[in-house]
Structure 1
Amino acid sequence: MKKDLLSIRTIVAVGIGAAIFIVLRYIAIPTGIVPNTTVQLSYIFLALIASIYGPLAGALIGLIGHSIGDALQYGSVWWSWVVVSGFVGAGFGSIFRKLKISEGIFNGKSIVLFNVVQIVTQAIGWFLIAPVLDIAIYGEPANKVFTQGFVAGILDIVTVGIFGTLLIWLYARTQTKKGSLKKE
């Protein structure tokens, strides 16, 4: 089954996904390491939806969910991190056709592929893009934002690696494998 990147189902998934992303941003666990840096459960959900619907859905959910979440929670939007949420969502979704989780496939090879992509994507996003944009847009001190980006990146890599992988695996198990139904 060929999936459209912008089908009606994808548009609905973006709307619902962004709303759930916003709600999950309220469930954040402070790190105690760096100010304004928390363990975010929203990226676990973003990994699942982007893996099902692709990079455009992942990017839009990250952008919309993070920007509205910031506006509601803090009264302003921290655009550098919003951009990274969109980038990370697109990265998670970039391999959705290879993963085939909607066909009930998420085996060892798929798990390794997903985690390599999510680690590389998040490392680029949080270790490089977010701090550089923090400096360029907001004039933040380099040592502060690179530390924040590193801590956020490691936490997100670990939580998505464990719980995102588990959530995707559980979702894949609910899907009917191609050719598994037989006519009697």
Structure 2
Amino acid sequence: MKGNQLSIKTIVAIGIGSAVFVILGRFAVIPTGVPNTNFDTSYGFLALMAVIFGPVAGGLIGLIGHALKDFIFYGSPWWSWVVVSGIVGFLIGLVSKKIDIESGVVTAKKIILFNFTQIIVQAIGWFAIAPSLDVLIYAEPVNKVYLQGLVAGGLNMATVAILGTLLLSIYAKSRSQSGSLTKDV
């Protein structure tokens, strides 16, 4: 990003990332038994995209992807959760420079930073913000929405810890490590 402009690469990543979020959020989920709450693989992918492309892309992929998924498959977005998906993507993206996935190296320290960040961000988002907004916006029953937030947040943390970490490691291995190329003499 230069100044206030998004690069074409980032804009394309937002579009493709949002589409993949929709597809994963619809077809790569497992119902939990708690109403409207699934084990959802899209958050592992969202975390990867946030680390690769930064906070603006992460936030927009979460926001647009979740809104489109809800609109396409349920008829209208559930805005409290859509907003939290955007917040989660944005805040995970804030550590993208410290993780520096493009270096091709994912150390234990970077994995710990990634997972510490995602757990804190998701705990705030799913345990507090989403259910509170459900009560304020939709007048949902408190017990129901806090249970949904607890289940969704815990599962999203596990998804990002396992799938997100795996995706980060695989992606990093596909990058050239600085100094790894030598010139034959």
TM over 0.5: yes
For the aligned residues, what is the CA RMSD? Answer: 1.0
Partner of 2:30: 29
Partner of 2:128: 128
User: What is the alpha-carbon distance in structure 1 between the residues aligned to residue 124 and residue 7 of structure 2?
Assistant: 29
User: What is the alpha-carbon distance in structure 2 between the residues aligned to residue 159 and residue 42 of structure 1?
Assistant: 9
Alignment of 1:30-109 (within 5 A): 30-32=31-33, 34-109=34-109
TM-score by length of 2: 0.95
> Any idea what SS the aligned residue of 1:77 has?
coil
1:112-144 residue CA offsets vs partner (Å, 9 max, x unmatched)? 000000000000000000001000100011111
1:16-37 residue CA offsets vs partner (Å, 9 max, x unmatched)? 10011111111210012x1110
Structure 1: gaps spanning 5 or more residues: none
Partner of 2:149: 149
> Any idea what SS the aligned residue of 2:150 has?
helix
1:83-108 residue CA offsets vs partner (Å, 9 max, x unmatched)? 00000101221110111111102110
User: What is the alpha-carbon distance in structure 2 between the residues aligned to residue 104 and residue 74 of structure 1?
Assistant: 40
User: What is the alpha-carbon distance in structure 1 between the residues aligned to residue 45 and residue 124 of structure 2?
Assistant: 20
Q: Does 1:170 align with 2:170?
A: yes
Deviant stretches of 4+, over 3 Å: none
Q: Which amino acid aligns with 1:101?
A: I
The number of aligned residues is 181
> Any idea what SS the aligned residue of 2:181 has?
coil
User: What is the alpha-carbon distance in structure 2 between the residues aligned to residue 23 and residue 159 of structure 1?
Assistant: 16
1:133-160 residue CA offsets vs partner (Å, 9 max, x unmatched)? 0001000111111110000000000111
Q: Which amino acid aligns with 1:123?
A: A
User: What is the alpha-carbon distance in structure 1 between the residues aligned to residue 172 and residue 6 of structure 2?
Assistant: 22
Note the C-alpha offset of 1:165: 0.3
TM-score by length of 1: 0.96
Partner of 1:160: 160
Structure 2: gaps spanning 5 or more residues: none
Note the C-alpha offset of 1:73: 0.5
Q: Which amino acid aligns with 2:29?
A: A
Q: Which amino acid aligns with 1:74?
A: Y
